[in-house]
Structure formats: structure tokens, C-alpha cells
């Protein structure tokens, strides 16, 4: 093991003992690693990098394709026990000559940004991977729902970045002063990337239709829901451009933060939390749109968790919950009780407001529930929204590109 610049501190030795202990406790195979890494001080921190990781991430032209920014190293010949023959460090870089003569050079900032300490990993996550989410309840809505100008999003990278950052942090952000045209929303979508197409189209129109394929196209109460939970690849964000708002009573939007509700249930109703996170429901949509038949089914709990217990997705829709319950009969009644609780809490903690013509309401469709109160069209006033979905893959990608472009971080990516 190479130790550069300073002797390892007692703390560092303790850390290594803990790593071995953790590895043994987790029952992972543990071989040779202690003698298989290089430790060096970068900006006051002792950081360790496994030889195998360094060799795998060699940035030279033979190992890494510069325009594709991709590893091209041939793994059929890769030596897992690769060792350095010589290591030279200068102010800004580390140069390693491996026993087979291959040479690698690493920028020190580049290394530090990829280092394995918990602090550095956390910094990387929030700087690059995904912005942290902040939950809210209805009474905080006026504060957290920021308003953004249509023109600014179109013409300024900073404007676009701010809007997308708010959307990913709070799950909702409003655009105002949008031109009164069915295609105005397209320019916003193009600033991000492209829409997520579904069987309802590349975009969709929300308007009262009598013999509809979807209850969202009715003027009656639209109970709180997430859109299209029957898609395994459920649309990530929903953009709804209000072209014509109803002049009748009603037509208000309801919005609630499913992540806030999940936290609340976890804390106060642990039995129901277990049911809502574990019992799979069959979400369903069957019909014909634009002469094409569809029959979508997808099974997932109301609250989906990752393996760390963090909420990844909320599914909720009374109309689009299928009649087939894919669980045991003893789960049915308790699950229905938890389902009612979830709905009631979403109403209790929801925000109510009415969008204006020219507004584009943008919200996270796998996090927020939305609904709409009943309204009445008349001959001179037919409520009309244009909708488009954009996936989080594209939104996060655009956020990362903008962050670099705007140089809001001085990190080497």
C-alpha cells in the first residue's frame, strides 16, 4: 500500500478496522483489499482509492474514449490484482505506472470528487446525482410553489435551471404568462428535451368529453390521484397548460405532497404504512384512444420504497385501480382501511387553488396527488387544458447539464 504525504492518523486506522468489521458483519467476501489501495492526502484529507478502481478508470486514450466519454478498456484481459510499479504525485495530478508498464494520470480534484468517504459521497450526490427533496403540507403551499415567467424559461439558462430545481425539490412549480396557443407548451418541453409519449398521445387535451376513454375528460369531481399508475414507466412530471379556465364555480385544483403524507403515515400509523408500502395493487387502464386499443396493467404498492426505505414513487387512482386484487383475501379489508386513510390524509394536507389562463402547472407525477373540483361548461366557456408529460430521466439530465454550463459548482466532473 502506498502512503503519500503523511503518515496515516490513528483515526484512519480506526476507520479501516471498522470497515473490516462492517464487511465481515455484512458477510461479504473480503480478500486482499487492505493491501490493494493507495492512500493520498488531497486538500487536507487522507483519501484511499483501490488499485482496481484506479486501473478501471484510467483516463488515457487507450482506456477511455474522449468524445464518447466512455470506458473502452478491454475487460476480457483485465487484471483484478493489478498493482502500481511507480507512483508520482505533483501539485495537481497523480501518475501511476502499473506493473505491465501502462501509465495512468489522474487529476487530484477529479479523484477527490470520486472518493469513498461518506462526506464526499454525500457532496457528490447533492451536487450531481439528484437535488434533495423537501416535503410540504397544504398550508405551506403558497410559500413553496414558486412562480416562473414563460419567457425567462425560454430565454435564460438560469431561469430554466431555477424552475427545474424547484420542480425537483418541491415537486411543483408554476409557469405564468404563457402565450394562448396549443403549441406554447412545446417550447418549454424542448428546453428540457422531449415528452414522454403514452397511449393518450405525445401531448393530450383535458376537456369534457361525454363518451370518454378516461374519467379525467369529464367535468365531474376528479378525485385526487396520480396519472397513469398502470405504466411501469409512469410519466415523471406533468405539465398542464391552462388555455381556458371555467368561469363557473368549481374547477379548482387540489394538490398534495405524497412524500409528506408517507412520512406522516409512517410516524403515526405504522400498521397502515406497512400495508401501503407492501401490498401490491393492480393499476389498470383498458380502452381505445385514437382507434388504438390498450390494456395496461401494472402492480405496485401505493407507496413504493427503495431498499433504503426511501419513497421512490406514489401510485394512487380510484378510477385506475383494477378490480383484480393480486393478494390474499385476508389483506383486503385491512388494505382498504389503509387506502381510505391515505386518501383522507391527502385531502387534509392538500392545497386548493385555481390556475389562471396562461399558467402551466408543472408537478411531479410520481410524488404528488392532484385532483379537480367539478365545474360546468357552457357554450361560451369550455374549460381546456393542454398536457404534456416529461420523464425525470430527462429533467435530471437537463439540470446536470445546466449546472455545469452555469458553473454554479467548481468541481471537476
* Span 237-296, contacts to its own copies by CB under 8 A: 271-272, 274-275, 278, 282, 285-287, 292-296
Q: How far is the CB of 176 from its own copies (least distance, A)?
A: 26
- Considering only residues 217 to 236 of the shown chain, the ones binding its own copies according to CB under 8 A are 217-218, 220-221, 223, 231-233
Closest CA to 300 of 284, 285, 283: 283
- Considering only residues 85 to 114 of the shown chain, the ones binding its own copies according to CB under 8 A are 113-114
Which range in 5-13, 87-95, 97-105, 211-219 contacts its own copies by CB under 8 A?
Answer: 211-219
Which range in 91-99, 140-148, 260-268, 395-403 contacts its own copies by CB under 8 A?
Answer: 395-403
Q: What's the Cα-to-Cα distance from 345 to each of 275, 335, 392, rounded to whole Å?
A: 16, 15, 26
Are 116 and 48 in contact by the 8 Å Cβ rule? The answer is yes
Dihedral pair phi/psi, residue 373, rounded to 5°: -75, 155
Q: How far is the CB of 279 from its own copies (least distance, A)?
A: 9
199 near its own copies, judged by CB under 8 A: yes
Q: How far is the CB of 273 from its own copies (least distance, A)?
A: 11
Judged by beta carbon, residue 145 or residue 258, the one nearer its own copies is 258
Q: How far is the CB of 358 from its own copies (least distance, A)?
A: 28
Dihedral pair phi/psi, residue 95, rounded to 5°: -115, 125
- Considering only residues 297 to 316 of the shown chain, the ones binding its own copies according to CB under 8 A are 297-299, 307
- Considering only residues 32 to 91 of the shown chain, the ones binding its own copies according to CB under 8 A are 32-33, 36-37, 48, 50, 52-53, 56-57, 65, 67-76, 78, 80
179 near its own copies, judged by CB under 8 A: no
Number of residues engaging its own copies in binding (CB under 8 A): 107
Looking at 46, 320, 346, 365, which residue binds its own copies (CB under 8 A)?
320
- Considering only residues 132 to 171 of the shown chain, the ones binding its own copies according to CB under 8 A are none
123 near its own copies, judged by CB under 8 A: no
Q: How far is the CB of 41 from its own copies (least distance, A)?
A: 16
Amino acid at each position: 500500500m502506498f502512503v503519500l504525504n503523511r503518515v496515516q492518523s490513528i483515526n484512519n486506522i480506526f476507520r479501516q478496522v471498522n470497515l473490516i468489521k462492517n464487511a465481515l458483519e455484512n458477510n461479504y467476501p473480503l480478500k486482499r483489499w487492505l493491501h490493494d489501495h493507495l492512500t493520498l492526502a488531497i486538500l487536507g484529507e487522507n483519501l484511499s482509492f483501490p488499485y482496481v478502481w484506479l486501473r478501471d478508470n484510467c483516463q488515457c486514450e487507450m482506456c477511455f474514449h474522449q468524445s464518447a466519454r466512455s470506458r473502452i478498456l478491454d475487460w476480457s484481459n483485465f487484471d483484478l490484482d493489478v498493482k502500481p510499479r511507480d507512483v508520482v504525485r505533483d501539485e495537481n495530478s497523480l501518475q501511476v505506472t502499473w506493473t505491465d508498464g501502462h501509465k495512468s494520470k489522474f487529476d487530484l480534484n477529479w479523484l477527490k470528487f470520486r472518493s469513498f468517504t461518506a462526506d464526499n459521497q454525500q457532496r457528490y450526490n447533492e451536487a450531481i446525482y439528484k437535488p434533495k427533496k423537501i416535503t410540504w403540507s397544504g398550508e405551506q403551499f403558497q410559500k413553496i410553489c414558486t412562480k416562473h415567467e414563460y419567457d425567462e424559461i425560454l430565454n435564460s439558462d438560469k431561469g430554466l435551471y431555477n424552475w427545474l430545481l424547484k420542480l425537483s425539490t418541491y415537486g411543483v412549480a408554476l409557469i405564468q404568462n404563457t402565450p394562448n396557443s396549443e403549441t406554447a407548451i412545446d417550447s418549454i418541453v424542448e428546453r428540457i428535451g422531449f415528452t414522454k409519449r403514452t397511449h393518450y398521445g405525445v401531448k393530450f387535451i383535458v376537456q369534457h368529453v361525454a363518451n370518454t376513454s378516461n374519467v379525467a375528460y369529464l367535468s365531474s369531481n376528479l378525485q385526487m390521484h396520480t396519472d397513469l399508475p398502470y405504466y411501469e414507466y409512469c410519466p415523471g412530471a406533468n405539465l398542464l397548460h391552462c388555455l381556458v379556465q371555467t368561469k363557473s364555480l368549481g374547477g379548482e385544483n387540489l394538490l398534495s405532497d405524497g412524500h409528506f403524507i408517507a412520512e406522516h403515515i409512517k410516524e403515526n400509523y405504522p400498521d397502515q404504512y406497512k400495508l401501503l408500502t407492501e401490498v401490491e395493487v393492480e393499476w389498470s387502464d383498458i380502452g381505445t384512444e385514437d382507434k388504438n386499443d390498450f390494456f395496461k396493467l401494472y402492480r405496485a404498492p401505493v407507496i413504493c420504497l427503495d431498499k433504503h426505505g426511501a419513497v421512490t414513487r406514489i401510485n394512487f387512482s380510484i378510477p385506475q385501480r383494477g378490480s383484480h386484487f393480486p393478494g390474499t383475501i385476508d389483506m383486503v379489508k385491512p388494505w382498504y382501511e389503509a387506502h381510505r386513510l391515505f386518501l383522507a390524509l391527502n385531502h387534509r394536507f392538500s392545497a386548493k387553488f385555481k390556475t389562471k389562463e396562461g399558467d402551466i402547472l408543472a408537478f411531479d407525477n410520481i410524488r404528488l396527488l392532484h385532483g379537480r373540483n367539478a365545474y360546468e361548461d357552457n357554450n361560451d366557456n369550455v374549460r381546456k387544458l393542454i398536457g404534456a408529460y416529461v420523464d425525470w430521466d430527462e429533467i435530471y439530465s437537463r439540470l446536470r447539464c445546466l449546472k455545469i454550463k452555469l458553473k454554479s459548482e467548481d468541481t471537476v466532473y
